[in-house]
């Protein structure tokens, strides 16, 4: 999310990072938005994941004949390094959408091409990747994947008037550089607000204990939103215990303070690696209370492995779950597994898939039909069209405001474990 913001087996390389994917990378803010649980999917046709709809006609808005060509969509994210699970998920999800769109005739006579560059979750390398993509003819950007790089790249994209749609950059600053910047995922503070609302509205607790990473913008962003809304909802924060990136293996002190505070729910606005340790240590300490986390807990099932039983009934906010019986999610999951030789898609993949289909709808709405148009001219048209479309995607039905923020309903999933196998089911 900033670290910025769901599956259960991501081919032994998963959530929100290579089994430890993000464990090592937690020293730098990630993206997040967030992971698994939606019931709708994107696909402007009858292909793998359902269908999408624009607010208006899906054909060229001006009714003109198409000039065609190949339109290059750039992508930036960590393909190597500790956050590689996230980047590869975005790359694969975006590629799947591009493949489907091209197989169904492209966009207004144009074929799409995805050029995805590795940034290793490093802001400087991300800017270098952006410049490489510009030199290669990029006309729109899906990225970046994680928040810190997105902040750096969005500043450059704003200067160039390059359309940017990040699937997962969830920090407030990720898209604040200009009106050319949009996102698919929720913001970190927004996710915190939603969490507090859900806990209060469903009477899950009156006293909440929190364990968070004070060195991570994703974690602190969610925390800030949660605390503000908790105060409005009458939730008491009985314990607020921090850890840092250089001390995230022993949580015994924090756990004991939460237990001593009388909390009846533990809120974890963190990533799944640390959450897995907290759950194990909490069980050893005798903690017995509801556990609720954000999309960063997507990947918890795989991380725990044969200890997954301790995640029973853990609640996770996420816009997509590969195990969902929803038809769109099922079609997307099947298509993704076929593309990746069996990898189970995580939220980042679904966000990226939806991002490409959102671009398709915006291009159609704007009547962009000539791949030789300048990136700036395309951006001028697409950023207006983004506020006029509705995407029925795998992460939900989404519209966008002029400031680039998505509007869609949150999803809360519950982990269930049967015969040692964990899965996500709707908690609603």
CATH assignment of the domain containing 308 = 3.40.50.2300
Task: Judge whether 331 lies within some domain.
Answer: yes
- pLDDT of 410 reads 72
Q: In this structure, are 25 and 81 located in the same domain? A: yes
Angle, CA 114 vertex, CA 100 and CA 108 arms, to 5°: 55
Q: In this structure, are 137 and 229 located in the same domain? A: no
Q: In this structure, are 418 and 393 located in the same domain? A: no
Q: In this structure, are 180 and 244 located in the same domain? A: no
Count of domains for the chain = 2
Q: How far from the centroid of its chain's Cα atoms is residue 132's Cα?
A: 25
- pLDDT of 53 reads 37
Parallel, antiparallel or unpaired: strands 412-418 and 421-426: antiparallel
Q: In this structure, are 150 and 206 located in the same domain? A: no
Q: What is d(CA 181, CA 165) in angstroms, rounded to the nearest whole number?
A: 6
Contact 273, 27 (CB under 8 A): no
Considering only CA atoms, which of 315, 255, 317, 239 is closest in space to residue 288?
A: 255
- pLDDT of 26 reads 36
Contact 171, 123 (CB under 8 A): no
Answer positive or negative: Cα dihedral of 395, 397, 403, 405: negative
- pLDDT of 322 reads 85
Residue 115 burial (CB < 10 Å; 0-12/13-18/19+)? middle
Q: In this structure, are 286 and 198 located in the same domain? A: yes
Q: What is d(CA 4, CA 194) in angstroms, rounded to the nearest whole number?
A: 17
- Which ranges of the chain have pLDDT less than 70? 1-67
Residue found by looking up tokens 């790089």 in the block: 149
Structural domain boundaries enclosing 419: 189-319+412-426
| pTM (whole model) above 0.75 | yes
Considering only CA atoms, which of 152, 205, 142, 154 is closest in space to residue 354?
A: 142
């Amino acid at each position: 999310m900033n670290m910025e913001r769901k599956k259960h087996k991501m081919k032994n390389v998963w959530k929100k990072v290579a089994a430890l994917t993000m464990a090592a990378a937690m020293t730098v803010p990630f993206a997040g938005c967030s992971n698994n649980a939606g019931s709708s999917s994107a696909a402007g046709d009858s292909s793998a994941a359902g269908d999408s709809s624009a607010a208006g006609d899906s054909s060229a808005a001006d009714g003109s004949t198409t000039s065609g060509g190949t339109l290059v969509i750039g992508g930036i994210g960590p393909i190597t390094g500790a956050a590689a699970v996230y980047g590869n998920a975005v790359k694969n999800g975006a590629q799947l959408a591009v493949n489907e769109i091209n197989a169904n005739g492209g966009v207004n006579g144009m074929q799409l091409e995805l050029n995805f560059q590795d940034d290793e979750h490093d802001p400087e390398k991300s800017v270098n990747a952006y410049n490489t993509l510009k030199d290669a003819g990029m006309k729109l950007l899906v990225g970046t994947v994680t928040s810190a790089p997105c902040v750096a790249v969005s500043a450059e994209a704003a200067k160039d008037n390059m359309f940017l749609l990040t699937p997962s950059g969830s920090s407030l600053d990720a898209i604040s550089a200009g009106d050319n910047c949009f996102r698919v995922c929720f913001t970190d503070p927004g996710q915190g607000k939603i969490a507090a609302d859900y806990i209060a509205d469903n009477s899950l607790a009156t006293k909440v204990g929190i364990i968070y990473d004070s060195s991570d913008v994703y974690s602190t962003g969610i925390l800030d939103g949660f605390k503000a809304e908790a105060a409005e909802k009458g939730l008491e924060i009985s314990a607020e215990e921090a850890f840092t990136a250089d001390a995230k293996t022993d949580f015994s002190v924090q756990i004991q303070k939460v237990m001593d505070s009388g909390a009846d729910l533990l809120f974890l606005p963190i990533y799944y690696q640390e959450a897995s340790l907290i759950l194990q240590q909490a069980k050893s300490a005798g903690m017995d209370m509801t556990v609720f986390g954000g999309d960063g807990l997507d990947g918890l099932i795989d991380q725990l492995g044969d200890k997954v039983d301790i995640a029973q009934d853990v609640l996770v906010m996420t816009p997509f779950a590969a195990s969902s019986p929803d038809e769109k999610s099922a079609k997307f999951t099947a298509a993704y597994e076929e593309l990746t030789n069996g990898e189970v898609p995580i939220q980042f993949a679904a966000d990226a898939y939806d991002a490409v289909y959102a671009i398709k709808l915006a291009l159609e709405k704007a009547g962009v039909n000539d791949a030789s148009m300048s990136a700036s001219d395309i951006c001028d048209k697409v950023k207006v069209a983004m506020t006029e479309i509705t995407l029925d995607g795998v992460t939900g039905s989404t519209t966008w405001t002029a400031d680039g923020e998505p509007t869609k309903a949150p999803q809360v999933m519950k982990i269930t474990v049967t015969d040692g196998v964990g899965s996500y089911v709707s908690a609603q």
